[in-house]
Chain A
């Protein structure tokens, strides 16, 4: 009987939670459609597929970091060091490439450095669990960017554009239309989404985000999972650095400034709670495109970057306020019924 009653309780919970998520994603889809309708009405050029993909490519470099960021937020952690990490990895790529002349060495060095930086975050945070992830990654962000500043000074490192196939990583397209980067991103997002929702590891992450102590008592190796996720974030930062280099062809020490906050706001817009344990991957996937396309659309009507920033800020606040407003309306209705 106990199991039966347990099951009913859990099924009720799940259903209500599910419907909430459905509603959330429904809202996101509505916003997504709204943004597209707005963009189409603003400019007839919007639906030009080639331009559209060019623009999507532009924000996909940021979006790549949002994928592991979703995991980190799901754990109830945060990583403010991704911007510095990408910057340092890209710097190392440039330096290694220029000193060895072999782009492969550069790519490997960048990915290694990125992964190591992520692992360093993970190591500090899992060894000293009392530390707030926010302050540690804040400090490591300064360190990573500072190292890149030390290496580059006021100058920059470049020359990557001489390698034709390397620039193709960002600019190349299948059938002269769909960018490689777009396909890569979608595949990666699919893998991330499946791991988050369909694997034991994913369930572990949800459990840790919900309640670290309970998860530890349930036999989940909390610190191992955290370590892995931070290292994974570092790896993705390394990959992003490679794509950034392919895109820009040169690196300065202020590269990728603010990527961390962009990635976090994309995830939060997608419904991933920064308190951990809540959210779906589909949500953040849609949110990435909402933010990117909204920015593109507002650019089309020549709105200044500053105004766009205000609009994105308002969108973020309104979306996170949405559940509270929904609750308030529900309560009022209940009172009215009574």
Chain B
């Protein structure tokens, strides 16, 4: 059992690479089909700009979820964390306490990381199963969002002009929000590939017991990962409120599901220890393309939800079939 695992680990990176390239291929095909079916309406500047702007926050969230899934956890409270941090930041802006857009982003990140660390401590020190802990805390965070705002919403004119224009502005032809995605991707890629802590995350996810024996403090890794995930959700909260220029109690409701789907399409295993930043970037982009393009292709709005679910299911199924084939081939290779 252990032997096969360590043997497949050698082939593992190669397999992953091929999976990502196949995903890239599927994505390109998808774009071409959409481009063809929509009569060339997809690959235009406006659509691409909208796409990179509107779905930047789910892409950013996906990187946080990647870390959580890598250690074998799950976090279904990020939608609520996003709402709580975005809302509290917007309220402070409306009250004139935060007067600097940068400060607003930082504050949102701080609120998010506090939420994340609460989740981390509950899961690691309290030994609560992740889905249950985040389910309970999701109620609490979402409830707090309504509580601090008094179930009202923060309108656009109460927000800082610099905060709102950040999401509309661009740098080198790319939307500011998408720059955050790029920076996040590069940071995550380096972090997971070449830092000690990044490798520890993989180890904790693929074999917690071995990780413990080799001297990794699992609890600390877990708390750190959930805190980072919370911080990322906080960042996404600032991105979200800056993009829509309003803050509402029910914002990003259900975002966690899109994010988990993006990760799974990107080849992240829910069992932990398997997945990469590049895969998640592709997965999140695929979800964004699907969400954006269904209306362009002329599929009526009411089909979109059902189709999206269907595409997620098919993507997951294809993943399994590809993996089965790969495993069989690996076995054949060994017999020879």
Contacts and interface: CB of A to CB of B under 8 A. Distances in A.
Contacts of A144: 309
Interface in A146-162: 146-147, 149-150, 153
B158 interface: no
Contact of B313 (A136, A314, A323, A324): A136
B260 A138 contact: yes
B222 interface: no
Interface string B231-266: 000000000000000000100000001001100100
A320 B308 contact: no
Given A136-B313, A274-B131, A321-B128, A310 B144 contact: yes
A316 B308 contact: no
Contacts of A274: 129, 131-132
Interface in B108-158: 122, 125-129, 131-133, 135-140, 142-144, 146-147, 151
B139 A138 contact: no
B132 A320 contact: yes
A206 B306 CA distance: 35
Contacts of B122: 317, 321
Interface in A87-130: 124, 128, 130
A138 B257 contact: yes
A304 interface: yes
A139 interface: yes
A312 B128 contact: no
Nearest to A261: B135
Interface in A305-327: 306-310, 312-314, 316-317, 320-321, 323-324
Nearest to A154: B302
B17 to A, nearest CB: 20
Interface of A (DSSP majority class): helix
B306 A139 contact: no
Interface residues of B, number: 45
Contacts of A195: none
A268 B133 CA distance: 11
A142 B133 contact: no
A265 B76 CA distance: 13
A313 B305 contact: no
Given A140-B313, A146-B309, A304-B151, A320 B139 contact: no
Contacts of B324: 130
B132 A268 contact: yes
B209 interface: no
Contact of B306 (A135, A146, A320): A146
Interface in A223-277: 261, 264-265, 268, 273-275
B323 interface: yes
B140 A313 contact: yes
Nearest to A267: B132
Contact of B143 (A128, A134, A307): A307
Given A140-B309, A273-B129, A304-B151, A130 B320 contact: yes
B270 interface: yes
A309 B139 contact: yes
B206 interface: no
B303 interface: yes
If over half of B's interface residues share one DSSP class (helix, strand or loop), that class is named, otherwise mixed; here it is helix
A42 interface: no
A139 B316 contact: yes
B133 A320 contact: yes
A85 B126 CA distance: 34
Most chain A beta-carbon contacts within 10 A, residue among B131, B304, B324: B131
B135 A149 contact: no
A310 B147 contact: yes
Contacts of B140: 309-310, 313-314, 317
Contacts of B187: none
Nearest to B138: A313
A275 B144 contact: no
Nearest to A318: B136
B306 A147 contact: yes
B140 to A, nearest CB: 4
B190 interface: no
A131 interface: yes
A306 B146 contact: yes
Interface of A: 78, 124, 128, 130-132, 134-136, 138-147, 149-150, 153, 261, 264-265, 268, 273-275, 304, 306-310, 312-314, 316-317, 320-321, 323-324
8 contacts: A124-B317, A139-B313, A142-B312, A145-B306, A146-B307, A153-B302, A275-B129, A323-B127
Given A124-B313, A316-B136, A317-B128, 16 more contacts: A134-B270, A135-B264, A135-B270, A136-B316, A138-B257, A138-B312, A139-B309, A141-B309, A142-B305, A146-B307, A150-B303, A274-B131, A306-B143, A306-B151, A313-B137, A321-B128
Interface of B: 74, 122, 125-129, 131-133, 135-140, 142-144, 146-147, 151, 249, 257, 260-261, 264, 270-271, 302-310, 312-313, 316-317, 320, 323-324
Across the A-B interface, give the 9 residue pairs with the lowest CB-CB distance, nearest first: A146-B306, A142-B309, A313-B139, A146-B305, A310-B143, A306-B146, A143-B309, A316-B136, A313-B140
